[in-house]
Homo-oligomer: A and B are copies of this chain.
Amino acid sequence: MTDSAYPNGRNGVPCLACPLRLKPAFKDKTDEEIRFIQAIKTEHRHLPAGSDIIHPGQQDAELYTLFSGWAFRYQLLPDGRRQILNFLLPGDLVGLQASLLSAAQHGIEALTEVELCVFPRKRIWDLFVHMPNLAYEVAWLGSREESLIDQNLTSVGQRNASERIAALVISLYRRAEALGLVTDGGFRFPLSQQQLADALGLSLVHTSKTWSRLRKAGLFAIAEGRLTLLNPRLTSRMALLYEREVAPRPLI
């Protein structure tokens, strides 16, 4: 909980120098806000791929910011079926719902190696008391996550297999793009087909077949763990997307 500025170390990058905030997707912060964030940040945590960040039913989970890497939220049924609810990319809040509701209705797992900025649950309250603008952004981020889940629910409920895959690819592409993670029309794509299937609400086999059909149709390509969007127009059309402008995104 030290406030000192340090190049790195236990607490990683100082918030004042946080590279995430420089990305186009992120809203400017005042020095006061950044210092407050720095003050309540207790740790900069590294976890390997596959780690449980929050396990289902966990009480009083901490709040995190995803500094680097990918994660996903999921829910399990008693018989083992799993639904992946949404994917978390750098800059996303991790565990807000679990923090506010005090008992997590879901789990969160690291999809790749991740770095997390750790904020104790109790401090969220301080933030609401002392930093209303930051509190407002927390609420904003919560609503934005809900909006993403809305879209996934619409996908799973109304779109067929091809349309679901196209919609997911477009959605992830746009998010990666907003974070400056897209180079040469492609970005790191660390999902296994089982994870894809669980996110799409499809079986593994059908996911594999549809996935490869869309690749052969030239919509996108996979190589070396990267996805390259070869035909954005066609992919977007197949996804049956409404082209609605998304609000500009402030982020902690």
Contacts and interface: CB of A to CB of B under 8 A. Distances in A.
Nearest to A145: B146
Interface stretch (A11-19, A43-51, A96-104, A219-227): A96-104
A82 interface: yes
A57 interface: yes
A152 interface: yes
A76 to B, nearest CB: 8
A31 interface: no
Nearest to A125: B136
A101 B140 contact: yes
A21 B183 CA distance: 53
A149 interface: yes
Q: How large is the interface on A (under 10, 10 to 19, 20 to 34, 35 or more residues)?
A: 35 or more
Contact of A158 (B83, B129, B135): B83
A121 interface: no
A238 to B, nearest CB: 12
Contact of A100 (B85, B101, B140, B156): B140
Interface stretch (A112-120, A168-176, A185-193, A239-247): A239-247
A139 B147 CA distance: 15
A138 B139 contact: yes
Interface in A70-87: 73, 75-79, 81-83, 85
B128 A79 contact: no
Nearest to A76: B242
A146 B100 CA distance: 11
* Nearest 8 Cβ contacts at the A-B interface: A157-B201, A83-B154, A128-B132, A100-B143, A81-B158, A97-B143, A83-B157, A75-B154
